[in-house]
Amino acid sequence: MAKRIPEKELTEIEEIVRRHPDGVTFKEIADELKTEVPRRTLQYRLKYLVDEKCLVTEGKRRWVKYRVRKDQRIEIPAGTLELEPQTAIVLPLSRAAIEIQKYLQQRISARKPVGYNREFLESYRPNETAYLSPAERARLRDTGNPNIAPQPAGTYAKQILSRLLIDLSWNSSRLEGNTYSLLDTRRLIEFGEQPQGREQLEAQMILNHKDAIAFLVSAADEIGFNRYTILNLHAILANNLLADASAAGRLRRIAVGIEKSTFHPLEVPQIIEECFNQILATAAAIEDPFEQAFFVMAQLPYLQPFDDVNKRVSRLAANIPFIKRNLSPLSFTDVPRDLYTEAVLGVYELNKIDLLKDVFIWAYERSAARYVAVRQSLGEPDPFRLRHRAALRGIIGEVIRANMDRKAAAAYIANWVQQNMDAADRERFREMAEDELLGLHEGNYARYEIRPAEFAAWREAWNEKTV
């Protein structure tokens, strides 16, 4: 009887081919394999994948190239996700990911009931174990690096903050079933306008996302995979959404179920806390930002450490390493909700990360491409503004925290520049500070490390005293 080819080795070959949509040669495949494989062995495996209709070839002999079959891609009809006009979204999936889908598409009664498997967490060793291959991490690093000079943590996220607040708030809420459109979300975040006939819960979910993103970006130097960050992140995302208000920012003490799943999460609070602390310690020890982000996306929802809002916490927490290292953020642009749900269920019921990994890689590359375009539209940073950014942040913060009206703010700025700025810079800095105050709104004040309550109080005073 012929010896069965290990599934892991076939999957590795398929993943290499998927990274080359224009086709890849035999030599290129051999060069990217993690371990050296005899030429004849690799030829046999490639022939097997072609015969099994997993791969297709084009060209002949020494010029032959391998590609993934088109029918191994998920195509979503245009318009279903409020996308720009196009024919379809194409999300390439590995063979292992497709097998996960096939399992989950069975009726629940045909799937095996499972509980929390602590070994799934215990077996992970930071910087030794890896969910993402070296080639995948390198590819994501090339994609997500905005090529800016070294700057303080959070600088890049602050440059695109107004767009990030809308994109990530909308997409993360959409993945939870929120029915707001992108335009509705923008109007809510920027102008506080709520469309008629919508549930208040949907608006609350989006505004909580906005506040949570602002928290991460404004505290870029302080956030990390620690209890302070993750518990407060949950408290903001869960604000006014839980039956028990005191459960916001607190680890779970009750049993919970997963809808349309055979997975039964842990129920013992002490073990939940132990595993939660272990997840944070493991994530904090991971050196690669992309591995770190994906580890959290897989492990946090699987534990279900909170009464609810677990997936939302994991999606925003995945952005922590990107914010801190000035990499492109992950906003889940265009990710199909059903596919994301299946990917998470694959972790819950099978402890398999292949489908979630395919979604993560595709989503990150799509998000990064979006923010390259956004940054290009912003133009080059103003050198004068860059040089005086610390002083501008201080001035704006003082005006808002002191609830100054326009007259008081103008006098304060004039006096400050007179005492602290060179004569040649005074007028330009004064004009820049006044323009910044006039342009502040709910979607952009977080860059000045202002809390929502402080901004609301200042805006009320600003408007009342200038009528």
What confidence tens digit (pLDDT) does each residue in 239-285 have?
Answer: 999 999 999 999 999 999 998 899 999 999 999 999 999 999 999 99
| Cα 403 from Cα 460, distance rounded (Å) | 9
Q: Contact at 8 Å (CB) between 214 and 165?
A: yes
Q: Which residue has the higher pLDDT, 462 or 323?
A: 323
Q: Contact at 8 Å (CB) between 248 and 348?
A: no
pLDDT of residue 376: 60
Q: Contact at 8 Å (CB) between 95 and 10?
A: yes
The mean predicted confidence, pLDDT, of the chain is: 87
Instruction: Please give the average per-residue pLDDT across 136-156, as a whole number.
Output: 89
Long-range contact set of residues 17-25: C-beta below 8 Å, sequence gap at least 24? 17/55, 17/66, 17/67, 17/68, 18/68, 18/92, 18/94, 19/135, 19/136, 19/139, 20/67, 21/67, 21/92, 23/58, 23/65, 23/66, 23/67, 24/65, 24/66, 24/67, 25/64, 25/65, 25/66
Strands 73-77 vs 88-92: parallel, antiparallel or unpaired: antiparallel
pLDDT at 293 over 70: yes
- Please name each of the domains of the chain with its CATH number: 7-68 (1.10.10.10), 94-378 (1.10.3290.10), 383-464 (no CATH)
Q: Amino acid identity, residue 59?
A: G
pLDDT of residue 362: 96
pLDDT of residue 83: 36
pLDDT of residue 408: 87
Q: Contact at 8 Å (CB) between 250 and 231?
A: yes
Element (H, E) at 189: helix 182-191
Structure tokens that stand for 301 in this block: 């929802």
Q: pLDDT digits over 352-361, tens only?
A: 999 999 999 9
Within 10 angstroms of residue 103's Cβ, the number of other Cβ atoms is 17
pLDDT of residue 14: 85
Give the least confident one: 4-18, 129-143, 185-199.
4-18
**pLDDT grade for 77, boundaries at 50, 70 and 90:** very low
**pLDDT grade for 381, boundaries at 50, 70 and 90:** low
